[in-house]
Amino acid sequence: MRNIVLAVALAICLSAPSIAADLNAVSGVYLNRSDDAQFLTLRPDATFFLRQKKSPPSKANPFVEFSGKYELNGETVTLILSDGGMAQGQLQGNVFTDSQGSAWVKKGTEQQKPVVKPWYKVW
């Protein structure tokens, strides 16, 4: 019986780093594809910070900010606010898609615009 308890404890300890590795892989700043002043930060400690435009917008203070904890279950990210509110989105590769269909791209992984070379020959 003692060996079984030890084996279970060892399995739990060894599986914990893989959970942390998953959060390290998704942690970072995700910029809204249509407006990079809006962003979502996922931290490796399972906390988040979200800065988003208000709806309807306000000229004096156009942004609203949220923070809380998040959970990752496969490709589903659940944002949990301190007041108990929740929001979900899908994470595929380096793109987070929120429930309204807006794409948020992980900072540093955005594709650069291709350099266009002239088709004519310069003499």
- Mean pLDDT of successive 10-residue segments in the chain (123 residues)? 39 41 87 94 97 88 94 95 94 94 90 54 56
8 A C-beta contact, residue 70 and residue 48: yes
Neighbouring C-beta atoms of residue 79, cutoff 10 Å: 20
The DSSP H or E segment spanning 113 is: none
In the chain, where are the structural domains located? 2-106
- Three-class SS of residue 45? coil
Amino acid at 64: V
Which residue bears the tokens 């987070």? Answer: 96
- pLDDT at residue 119 in the model: 59
Instruction: Output the CATH code of domain 2-106.
Output: 2.40.128.290
Q: Is the pTM higher than 0.85?
A: no
Distances in whole angstroms, Cα of residue 62 to Cα of each of 33, 70, 102: 18, 25, 18
- What tokens were used for 39? 């962003």
> 28, exposed or middle or buried, with CB in 10 Å at 0-12, 13-18, 19+?
middle
What's the CA dihedral at 105, 108, 109, 115 to 10 degrees?
A: 110
- pLDDT at residue 55 in the model: 85
- Three-class SS of residue 37? strand
